[in-house]
Every structure is written in C-alpha cells, then in structure tokens.
Structure 1
C-alpha cells in the first residue's frame, strides 16, 4: 500500500510538472487534478494510520476528533 508520504511526494511532483513552461494547459489541468487527488489520498491515509494506532491502543476512534499529520 502507498504511504501518505509517497502520495504527498507524487502530488508535489504533479504540481511541479503542471508549472513547467512547456506543459500545455490541458495537461497542466490534469496534473493539478491528479495532485489534488493524491493530496486527498495522503490525508485519508494519515487518518487511517491514526485510527489504526488509536484502536491498537484500545482507544475509540472518533471521526469527530481532528487527526494530526504524522509527517
């Protein structure tokens, strides 16, 4: 499974590629969309990690409790 850090790194790479001067607007738009999706996935993976950690400690996982990023 991908890690949150890997997803965020790929999101950052897509953002950089979208900003390259030779990148067409259509390609840049797709890269920005992919970057947003990967950043969202990174957030979800961070949340999953936190919930898994809490459950392993015997703490109830709460959807209402904010989850701190681990990286």
Structure 2
C-alpha cells in the first residue's frame, strides 16, 4: 500500500547502531531472579530503575519524617 504522506525533512533518519535500550541483554539475571525461592513483588531491572525507586523511597521517608508528629498525634 503506498503512503499517502511524505516523510517530513525534519524527521531523524533511523539509526543503524542499536541504542542502549535496544541492545540484546543476557536473560540470565532475570531467570535467576524468577527461580529464587523468594522474589519481590516488583522486581527492578536495570540501574536506572533501581535509582528511580531508591529516589522515590527516599522522598517518601522524608515526607514520613516531616509529618510523623502530626500522624502520631491523631492517636487512633
């Protein structure tokens, strides 16, 4: 089926070198994690994922510390 539109001149051309995200990775670490006796509910894969979760957890802990007196004062 022929295209009905032409590619704009500003579109980037496809890259011939695979990016970090598309390069093949070894499935061994994932298989090892899935074969473990105890696995986390949400398994973080990759350094960027681990760092994002760590940063989010630190923000949650900072909020908890800041609001702990108010939360504990409710006395339920």
Q: Specify which structure has the bigger relative contact order, considering alpha-carbon pairs within 8 angstroms and separated by 6 or more residues.
A: 1
- Which category describes the TM-score, using the shorter chain as reference length? 0.3 to 0.5
Taking structure 1 as the reference length, the TM-score comes to 0.37
Larger CA Rg, structure 1 vs 2: 2
